[in-house]
């Protein structure tokens, strides 16, 4: 199992280019299932999760090729069996978004229930209610969701709000299913995340009739058939935000290219509140931090609020602020596995329910730490860049799921991160993942 040894502290400087968004690529891969023929996805990141989704599509009967970096060619002419196996779904929650497309195209789907993971319970009840509203009959049997719509789905009004706001993948599922339903579907309280808007734009290229893209009210007029597509995925705002915070936490000066600042407004505002200078720069921005880090409070919210996927990384930054901050998590109230690990590095963090009180410390001190999930591991890497000494981050397979070669890209900015494999024979455990 690979580990990172991070020699700190360092000051990052230089230029880094952001890849295509993981969380846009995965549902767009699922969208290929809606049409017979060969679709092309460009700027797909080379990540463990994308490879696993390729495997899932192949098991359904699709032909999947990656002829060159960033390009995915998916032939969904034939679906042998609309079945999402537990062995894959439990390892990657995004697999659940094959349910809507399979149901719409094959009128029957069996997909494993994903189960919980390190960041919380993560139920799929809203996905299922949405599909039921479209007329699907849904049963749970042996850990599988068995969905049937023998006469096809029918458009209706669907409300997708839940206790923590809308649902991102739930919106993807219901929107994809509705594209082939009879009549009009109105989704209220739809997720507005840029990845959902990107999926909707891709569905439009397939011939879907969708309006309200990017808003909480999507109107979808079902069509009889969709066609394959060619689509370039948007840049990964979470990867971009991670590099921006990396610059700030190291007192650095980093230009982040291929980054859409309009997708990161809440993060830019909070970075500026900490004293970072964020300047738009061509197709991205430059982030620098000269003085001491100032404290600030953050509350994660659905888009356009502060993203939960950057909460852990921002907490690492606030841990070094001159003063106290409060971090409130309103999307996944249990997403705090990084707190104890950052405290191992001499941070002063106290969890109180869905909030963490951050008392800024003068310095972080290197320690062996354990990555628990994708974004928590990114936070530990950022902390390691700023900490004095050699931090070892265990279980970095978590980070490989969402960041392509992160150590090489940070090293190109001046980091000193070494990937090591102390026990080449041990395979990463096949546990439930984000």
The answer to whether residue 308 forms part of the interface with ligand EPU (CB under 6 A) is: yes
Residue at token pair 């997909």: 111
Strands 157-159, 184-188: pairing kind: parallel
Closest contact distance (angstroms) between CB of 200 and ligand EPU is: 14
Helix 125-133 to helix 168-179 angle (10° resolution) is 20
Q: For residue 186, report the phi and psi dihedrals to the nearest 5 degrees.
A: -115, 120
Closer CB to ligand EPU, 366 or 380, in the complex: 380
In 3D, which of 351, 417, 355 has the Cα closest to residue 382?
Answer: 417
Taking the CB of residue 26, how many other CB atoms lie within 10 A of it? 27
b/e per residue, 227-247, with b = 16+ CB within 10 A? Answer: ebbebebbbbbbbbbbbbbbb
Q: Are 259 and 18 in contact (CB under 8 A)?
A: yes
Phi, psi of 370 (to 5 degrees): -115, 125
Compute the 3-state secondary structure of the chain and give helix, strand, coil in percent, each to the nearest 5: 35, 25, 40
The yes or no reply on residue 124 touching ligand EPU (CB under 6 A) is yes
- Site membership for ligand EPU, residue 120 (CB under 6 A): yes
The CB-based long-range contact list for 134-138 (8 Å cut-off, 24+ gap) reads 134/158, 134/174, 134/177, 134/178, 134/181, 134/185, 135/181, 136/103, 136/177
| Inter-CA distances, 111 with 94, 137, 243, 385, Å | 12, 14, 35, 41
Residue 301 or residue 346: which is nearer to ligand EPU going by CB?
301
Nearer to ligand EPU, 125 or 420 (CB): 125
By CB under 6 A, residue 434 contacts ligand EPU? yes
- The residues in 36-75 that bind ligand EPU, with binding defined as CB under 6 A, are none
Residue from the set 95, 167, 242, 391 that interacts with ligand EPU by CB under 6 A: 167
Among 3, 4, 23, 358, binds ligand EPU (CB under 6 A): 23
Q: Which helix (H) or strand (E) holds 99?
A: helix 99-106
Q: Which residues pair with 65 in a beta bridge?
A: 73
Comparing CB distances to ligand EPU, the nearer of 146 and 361 is: 146
> Given the rule CB under 6 A, which of 72-80, 123-131, 247-255, 422-430 is the region that contacts ligand EPU?
123-131
Q: Any contact of residue 189 with ligand EPU (CB under 6 A)?
A: no
- Among the options 117, 202, 259, 285, which is catalytic? 117
**Interaction pattern, residues 366-385, with ligand EPU; x per rule: CB under 6 A:** --------xx----------
Nearer to ligand EPU, 126 or 385 (CB): 126
Q: Is 402 in the site for ligand EPU (CB under 6 A)?
A: yes
CA proximity to 118, closest of 326, 320, 341:
341
> Rule CB under 6 A: is residue 331 a binding residue for ligand EPU?
yes
Closest CA relative to residue 210, chosen from 50, 38, 34:
34
**What minimum distance in Å lies between the beta carbon of 114 and ligand EPU?**
8
Told to check if 337 binds ligand EPU by CB under 6 A, we report no
Whether 117 is catalytic: yes
Task: In angstroms, give the least distance from the CB of 374 to ligand EPU.
Answer: 4
Give the range of 121-129, 142-150, 252-260, 350-358 binding ligand EPU by CB under 6 A.
121-129
- Residues within window 70-99 making contact with ligand EPU, judged by CB under 6 A: 93-94
Residue positions annotated with a catalytic role: 117
Which parts of this chain interact with ligand EPU (CB under 6 A)?
23, 26, 93-94, 120-127, 162-164, 167-170, 308-309, 331-332, 374-375, 402, 434
């Amino acid at each position: 199992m690979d580990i990172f040894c991070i020699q700190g502290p360092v000051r990052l400087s230089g230029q880094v280019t952001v890849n295509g968004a993981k969380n846009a690529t995965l549902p767009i891969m699922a969208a290929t299932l809606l049409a017979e023929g060969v679709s092309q996805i460009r700027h797909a990141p080379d990540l463990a999760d994308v490879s696993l989704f390729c495997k899932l599509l192949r098991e359904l009967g699709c032909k999947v090729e990656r002829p060159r970096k960033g390009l995915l060619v998916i032939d969904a002419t034939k679906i042998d069996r609309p079945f999402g196996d537990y062995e894959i779904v439990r390892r990657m929650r995004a697999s659940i978004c094959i349910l809507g497309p399979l149901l719409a195209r094959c009128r029957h789907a069996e997909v494993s229930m994903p189960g919980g993971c390190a960041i919380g319970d993560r139920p799929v009840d809203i996905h299922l209610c949405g599909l039921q509203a479209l007329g699907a009959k849904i049963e749970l049997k042996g850990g599988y969701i068995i969905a049937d719509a023998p006469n096809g789905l029918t458009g209706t009004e669907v409300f997708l709000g839940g206790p923590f706001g809308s649902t991102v993948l739930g919106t993807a599922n219901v929107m994809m299913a509705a594209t082939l339903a009879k009549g009009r579907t109105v989704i209220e309280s739809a997720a507005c995340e840029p990845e959902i808007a990107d999926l909707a734009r891709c569905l439009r290229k397939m011939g879907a009739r969708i309006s309200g893209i990017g808003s909480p009210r999507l109107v979808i007029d079902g069509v009889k058939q969709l066609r394959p597509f060619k689509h370039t995925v948007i840049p990964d705002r979470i990867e971009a935000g991670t590099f921006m915070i990396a610059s700030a936490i190291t007192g650095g000066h980093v230009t982040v290219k291929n980054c859409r600042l309009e997708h990161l407004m809440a993060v830019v505002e909070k970075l500026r509140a900490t004293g970072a200078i964020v300047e738009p720069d061509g197709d991205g921005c430059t982030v620098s931090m000269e003085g001491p880090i100032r404290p600030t409070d953050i509350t994660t919210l659905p888009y356009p609020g502060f993203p939960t996927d950057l909460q852990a990384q921002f907490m690492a930054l606030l841990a070094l602020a001159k003063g106290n901050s409060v971090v409130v998590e309103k999307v996944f109230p249990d997403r705090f596995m990084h707190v104890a690990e950052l405290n191992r590095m001499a941070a002063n963090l106290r969890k109180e329910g869905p909030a963490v009180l951050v008392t800024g410390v003068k310095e972080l001190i290197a320690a062996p730490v354990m990555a628990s999930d994708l974004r928590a591991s990114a936070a530990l890497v950022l902390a390691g860049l700023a900490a004095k000494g050699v931090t070892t981050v265990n279980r970095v397979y978590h980070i490989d799921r969402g960041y392509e070669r992160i150590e090489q890209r940070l090293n190109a900015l001046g980091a000193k991160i070494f990937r090591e494999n102390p026990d080449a024979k041990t395979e990463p455990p096949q546990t439930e993942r984000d």
